């Protein structure tokens, strides 16, 4: 634009006037249209719905299990089914977008999400519920990376921080709001509304997609020429790996034939993916993007941060439930404290992202995230919700400072044409990091609790004066109530055993927070490889 103005000026009167006397022409910053912002809003709403549904059933699981006749172990498949299909769909979303067109693909997903949500709400059996949750996971998994792709392709560089802030807040707040909303609906209305609530949201999403995205013609040639070897490998590999990580600890890992079989299937899938990288013209998973050290560093960091996000979302409610005796709504209120900084920083965050070095932001975020975990390593059996207030506030700031730059750095490290594949890998890494983190945390909690229980029991021998005094005091109290000394001693010993287990649990959770903090701090050197995008520079690869 500036060049055209200068040329016109030179042609009309350049001979009589000095060009240096005229003020320089400053080009106007490129601005997104109303339609672009409607498309961004549609992507953000879809991502919110997808991330919310990951955890909205967690608080309502007891009611759902009772309604459909599922045991506690069987009920875990209600969450596992969603995660399994979601992590498969996320890297497939870029290819399916090319095949059907972005608008058609998202409209189809929104419609199917309604149908699968209704199926879950009307379920009266476990197989029907799991089938509905798997369908929800496929549709929801498509909405997360496509939201990031819309922001990358529809917004100019100068407005990218605003769009990425919207996306980052949704990714952070969705899993936090899910248990609170699910618990409130289950307690005050009905567990079925954990699924029926998606109907009005999806209708609004469909309207935004129709007005915000232009129609595109499907490219069926991309379907028939697809990397089917990689698609098969990805489907069986990631789905098996997710189930293995989710169910491994409950099944005692490789002591279970099911876990061994899942490990073999997952390995075969990974081999097929590796082969497809060599033989396919356009692999379904663009692992070649990992050759870019800037993008690879983002993936490694977001993998660790994903483990931290999902790990804390699991650890804190579990501690508050098992030790503090909180219900789902009370635990959810404590979890929401970490969302307060997100709302407070929302007006200034796009400006911060546009001016400060991403490396510094991520390093500060990782330090604060690690510090927030270290604040929770001195837990006691008397710890309650307000003891986590400051660690949750610091964690909220840390998550914002870490995730927001990473969202944008992942897009800045690749070209606009590769943004769909890059978004798929990015979101898959975050979710896979969460699954791996939860699997490791589950194993640590189980084994360290057993270790601490055995250690405390060994120190509390029959010759322990303190132990004998405690049992005698407790037995006297029970004897006064029941008049049966044998029963009173049995209850006293049971109380001692419960206290031992409680102390072992508290020690284990403190250690787990410590390990999470160390893992997050270990990612700080990788942040030095990040790239900060600039509004006045073209995207990578252009």
8 Å CB contact between 318 and 334: no
Confidence of residue 54 (pLDDT cuts 50, 70, 90): confident
- What pLDDT does residue 461 have? 62
DSSP string, 384-404: -GGGGHHHHHHHHHHHHHHHH
Q: Find the mean pLDDT for residues 241-270.
A: 85
Q: Give the chain's radius of gyration (CA, Å).
A: 27
Helix (H) or strand (E) holding 97, with range, is helix 72-100
- What pLDDT does residue 525 have? 84
Lowest pLDDT segment from 13-22, 157-166, 460-469 = 13-22
Q: What span, in angstroms and rounded, lies between the C-alpha atoms of 332 and 220?
A: 46
Q: Give me the phi and psi of 166, to 5 degrees please.
A: -60, -45
8 Å CB contact between 238 and 75: no
- Count of CB atoms situated within 10 Å of the CB of 408: 28
Q: What span, in angstroms and rounded, lies between the C-alpha atoms of 28 and 128?
A: 56
- What pLDDT does residue 11 have? 43
Q: What span, in angstroms and rounded, lies between the C-alpha atoms of 93 and 284?
A: 10
- What pLDDT does residue 112 have? 92
Residue 3 has pLDDT above 70, yes or no: no
Asked whether the CA dihedral 504, 505, 509, 510 is positive or negative, the reply is negative
- What pLDDT does residue 297 have? 82
Q: What span, in angstroms and rounded, lies between the C-alpha atoms of 399 and 362?
A: 9
Q: What is the pLDDT of residues 437-449, one digit of tens each?
A: 878 888 888 888 8
Q: What percent of the chain has pLDDT over 90?
A: 6
pTM: 0.73
Residue 23 has pLDDT above 50, yes or no: no
Confidence of residue 237 (pLDDT cuts 50, 70, 90): confident
Q: Find the mean pLDDT for residues 257-282.
A: 88
Q: What angle do CA 380, 383, 385 make, to 5 degrees?
A: 155
Confidence of residue 201 (pLDDT cuts 50, 70, 90): confident
Q: What span, in angstroms and rounded, lies between the C-alpha atoms of 106 and 111?
A: 9
Q: Give SS3 for 439.
A: helix
Q: Find the mean pLDDT for residues 251-257.
A: 82
Q: What is the pLDDT of residues 509-524, one digit of tens each?
A: 999 999 888 888 888 8
8 Å CB contact between 61 and 114: no
Q: What is the pLDDT of residues 358-406, one digit of tens each?
A: 888 888 988 998 999 999 888 888 888 888 899 989 988 888 888 878 8
Lowest pLDDT segment from 447-451, 526-530, 535-539 = 535-539
Structure tokens at 129: 């519920």
Count of CA atoms in the C-beta half-sphere (13 A) of 92: 28
- Count of CB atoms situated within 10 Å of the CB of 37: 16
Residue 83 has pLDDT above 50, yes or no: yes
Q: How far is CA 248 from CA 403, 441, 442, in A?
A: 29, 12, 9
Q: What span, in angstroms and rounded, lies between the C-alpha atoms of 446 and 249?
A: 8
Q: What is the pLDDT of residues 153-183, one digit of tens each?
A: 777 877 777 777 777 777 777 777 777 788 7
DSSP summary character for residue 414 = S
Q: Find the mean pLDDT for residues 335-354.
A: 78
Percentages helix, strand, coil for the chain, rounded to the nearest 5?
A: 80, 0, 20
- What pLDDT does residue 252 have? 77
Q: What span, in angstroms and rounded, lies between the C-alpha atoms of 400 and 152?
A: 19
- Count of CB atoms situated within 10 Å of the CB of 469: 10
Which residue in 169, 160, 119 sits closest to 139, CA to CA? 119
| Distance, C-alpha 353 to centroid of its chain | 21
Q: What span, in angstroms and rounded, lies between the C-alpha atoms of 110 and 117?
A: 10
């Amino acid at each position: 634009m500036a060049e055209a103005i200068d040329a016109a000026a030179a042609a009309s009167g350049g001979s009589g006037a000095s060009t240096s006397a005229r003020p320089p022409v400053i080009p106007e910053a490129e601005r997104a249209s109303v339609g672009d912002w409607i498309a961004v809003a549609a992507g953000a709403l879809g991502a919110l719905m997808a991330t919310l549904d990951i955890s909205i059933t967690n608080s309502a699981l007891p009611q759902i299990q009772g309604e459909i006749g599922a045991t506690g172990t069987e009920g875990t498949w209600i969450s596992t089914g969603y995660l399994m299909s979601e992590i498969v769909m996320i890297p497939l979303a870029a290819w399916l977008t090319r095949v059907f067109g972005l608008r058609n693909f998202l409209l189809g997903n929104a419609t199917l999400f309604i149908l699968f949500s209704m199926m879950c709400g009307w379920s009266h059996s476990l197989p029907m519920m799991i089938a509905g949750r798997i369908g929800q996971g496929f549709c929801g998994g498509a909405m997360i990376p496509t939201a990031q792709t819309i922001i990358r392709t529809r917004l100019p560089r100068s407005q990218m921080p605003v769009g990425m802030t919207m996306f980052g807040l949704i990714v952070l707040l969705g899993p936090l709001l899910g248990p609170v909303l699910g618990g409130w609906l289950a307690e005050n209305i009905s567990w079925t509304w954990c699924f029926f609530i998606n109907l009005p949201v999806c209708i609004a999403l469909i309207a935004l997609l129709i007005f915000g995205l232009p129609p595109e013609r499907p490219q069926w040639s991309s379907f028939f020429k697809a990397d089917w070897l990689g698609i098969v490998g990805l489907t069986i590999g990631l789905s098996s790996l997710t189930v293995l990580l989710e169910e491994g600890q409950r099944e005692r890992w490789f002591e279970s034939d099911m876990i061994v079989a899942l490990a073999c299937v997952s390995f075969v899938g990974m081999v097929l993916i590796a082969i497809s990288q060599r033989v396919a013209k356009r692999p379904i998973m663009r692992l070649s993007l990992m050759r870019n050290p800037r993008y690879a560093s983002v993936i490694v960091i977001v993998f660790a941060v994903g483990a931290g996000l999902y790990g804390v979302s699991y650890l804190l409610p579990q501690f508050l439930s098992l030790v503090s005796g909180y219900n789902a709504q009370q635990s959810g209120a404590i979890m929401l404290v970490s969302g307060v900084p997100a709302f407070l920083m929302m007006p200034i965050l796009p400006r911060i992202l546009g001016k400060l070095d991403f490396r510094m932001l991520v390093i500060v975020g990782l330090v604060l995230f690690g510090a927030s975990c270290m604040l929770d390593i001195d837990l006691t059996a008397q710890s309650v919700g307000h003891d986590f207030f400051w660690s949750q506030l610091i964690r909220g700031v840390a998550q914002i400072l870490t995730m927001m730059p990473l969202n944008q750095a992942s897009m800045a490290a690749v070209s606009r044409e590769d943004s769909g594949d890059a978004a798929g890998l990015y979101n898959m890494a975050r979710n896979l990091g969460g699954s791996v983190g939860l699997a490791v945390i589950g194993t640590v909690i189980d084994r360290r609790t057993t270790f601490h229980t055995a250690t405390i029991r060994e120190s509390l021998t029959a010759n322990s004066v303190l132990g004998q005094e405690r049992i005698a005091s407790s037995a006297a109290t029970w004897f006064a109530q029941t008049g049966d000394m044998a029963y009173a001693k049995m209850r006293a010993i049971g109380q001692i055993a419960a206290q031992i287990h409680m102390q072992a649990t508290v020690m284990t959770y403190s250690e787990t927070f410590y390990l999470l903090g160390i893992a997050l701090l270990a990612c700080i050197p990788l942040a030095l490889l990040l790239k900060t995008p600039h509004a006045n520079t073209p995207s990578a690869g252009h």
